[in-house]
Structure 1
Amino acid sequence: MASVLVCYGTGEGQTAKVAERLAAALSDRGHDPTVVDADDPPADLDVAAFDAVLAGSSIHVGAHRPAVTDFITENLEALAARPTGFFQLSLSSAADDEERRAEAAGYVDSLVESTGWHPDRVGLFGGALRYSEYGFLTRLVMKRIAKGATGDTDTSRDYEYTDWEEVTAFANDFAAFAEGRLGVAPPATER
């Protein structure tokens, strides 16, 4: 069993939902996940105390959550010493066209360049549109962004684009990688 920190930053809560789903999948594999909101971490959080780390962020107006970028930068040495993964939620990942998906990958490339962190695994997931939670100006901006990305501009409802099977598959892939690197037996062989 490995201890895994799942640290995330979210705007309207979709990245938090993904972090919880990742933790559930890791737990189902027999690992011990701890989920932490990067905007409100415990004062005694010690990244070096975990065997592996997943960090995740939503994208808003082309940028990752500042608290996640700070978390990565402040813990770069600890992250480099253990298996790590990064997960990102964006409307670009929800789009069907390759140009938008390349845009989503470009956000990760920018994060790597700005922080110097090279996660071992990366998951790109569709996020959500929470029109019901946006103020007037944000709703207008998000409607314009959505028009090009997903086409979902009906502001009378919310949209969720996260492929939950893809999230679980990412968690299992990351767990298998971490198990191999840490020398932890996969759950099937522990029985």
Structure 2
Amino acid sequence: MEVRVEDLAIVRGGLRVLEGVSFRLPSARALVLRGPNGIGKTTLLRTLAGLQPADAGRVVPGPDAMAYASHADGIKATLSVEENLRFWARLHGTASITAALRDFNLETLAERPAGSLSAGQKRRLGLARMAVTGRAVWLFDEPTISLDADSVALFAAAVGRHLEVGGSAVIATHIDLGLAGADVLDLAPYKAAPPEHGHDFHEAFL
């Protein structure tokens, strides 16, 4: 699914952090967000996902087409791996979790309580959740945290399969995932100007 972002401005802590962000992401393509820490990558992804309103601009399609994976894994510790995925599958009306278990190497862990998994295994489970949403646009915020090299390869392959069937992905990451034809958007040129003195703002968010 094509994603269009037009003259987007986003706010964190009452201040604009990015403004004038515009891009077009065709179906079957990935966009990698780059920029220094604090530039607004997470805030941009949250805005695309509909978790916070934009200060200006437009995003097409809307949040109903988006699935967002943040730093948190979004799993229930007392449920098994399989039960976690079935919960998300039912929530999104997806029939099967078989491919998600296979693609993220979770088949042998299916009956394990999520709370007993290692950090990397929990991360794989959290990412596998995206595969059962049925959403066309995947949004990832630093998805490779806690993953070893083999798991990073699994993740990249899963994203590749999503692109092959016409999906799209926006990924904030500092590493090269080896995704064929991925575009890169440096957010530094879109950094908003600092507020003038005398404006009412929270210095803690600068």
TM-score by length of 2: 0.32
More helix as a share of residues: 1
TM-score by length of 1: 0.33
**Greater Rg over alpha carbons, structure:** 2
Higher relative contact order, chain-length normalized (CA < 8 Å, sep 6+): 2
